[in-house]
Amino acid sequence: MKQILKIGTRESELAVWQATQVQNLLKENGVESELVYIKSEGDVDTVTPLYELGVQGIFTKTLDAALLKKKIDIAVHSMKDVPTQLAKGIKQAAVLKRGSHKDILVLHPDLAVTEGRLLRDSFLWSSGGGRRDTVSHLVIPLRKKYKEGETEQVIIGTSSIRRIAQWLNRNKEDKIENLRGNINTRLRKLKESNWHGAIFAAAGLERINLRPENSVDLDWMLPAPAQGAIMAVCREDDSMSFEICQKFNDANTALCTKLEREFLRTLLGGCSTPISALAKVRGTKIIFKGNICSPDGSDLIEIEKRIPIEICGQVGIDAAQEILKNPTAQNIIQAIRNEKS
């Protein structure tokens, strides 16, 4: 009897979308499969901020446990959620072609579309020495809730320590509110709040057609390592599942995410840190950008490397080691550890 591969997935709309992509790729290669729904610890607790949960593998370990118990054959993860050190007995089987790596600011629905467009035109500064307007100057006049001579504090929703750090680095007077839950839940919480906006991964909203019109690309915000990428993993001893998945492995995405995750692991190791990285293939070269930011946004160290693909294998590690030579980096790392303790 023909074997049907079991694909483990979380129950959220986005997770199911991702697992379905793997299912479709398997079908294209003549392999039948079925989805197996598993609730993760991160889905159960949608109140506690991620950085208080001990989030290393919070969204992946339940699936990985099911994989090791042979309840499923393949687990599908948002790659940015996967610890840089995979669980013993599990290996990377494939990385799908990357979607958008960007973070976006979704404005509160009270901001009309025309106002959102005005904000968008003003907000798109570059990360390379562009305009440094604070979001307060841009949002508050549009909210029409200020008095002459007074400034309303801008409130932004996110639970990501990386997004918090980078946002506060540019907008230190703003207030951050914890925002947890799946995409639909977070959009609802934003609508019901008195916040000005919330930060989301573009890929997640775009994949399930939920990106609002009044949203803004944060081109200056460097993403989490492997953001926008989907990973399929299998058991180390399951050569059949591995070989099947390798048929739809995207080599460029696999390379870039490897470099980004090595940068993260070399600096600090965890996925719940204010560490960002992005590698891109441009012709015959890799363009690598990385940064580390103190949790309160007060200090930020950035690095950029351009290197031929044929000798790029260590660029993530080399970039991290170069940052570690900066005395400020040690202060940032200590601040991150203090936040976690």
The residues that are catalytic are: 81
Of the candidates 313, 314, 288, 315, which has an alpha carbon nearest to the alpha carbon of residue 302? 288
Angle at 172 between CA 218 and CA 157, to 5 degrees: 55
* Segment 239-244 long-range contacts (CB within 8 Å, at least 24 positions apart): 241/5, 241/73, 241/74, 241/93, 242/91, 242/93, 244/5, 244/26, 244/29, 244/31
Angle between helix 251-267 and helix 315-324 axes, rounded to 10 deg: 20
* Segment 242-248 long-range contacts (CB within 8 Å, at least 24 positions apart): 242/91, 242/93, 244/5, 244/26, 244/29, 244/31, 245/22, 245/74, 245/93, 245/94, 246/93, 246/94, 247/25, 247/29, 247/94, 248/22, 248/25, 248/26, 248/28, 248/29, 248/94, 248/96
CA pair distance 48, 174, nearest whole angstrom: 21
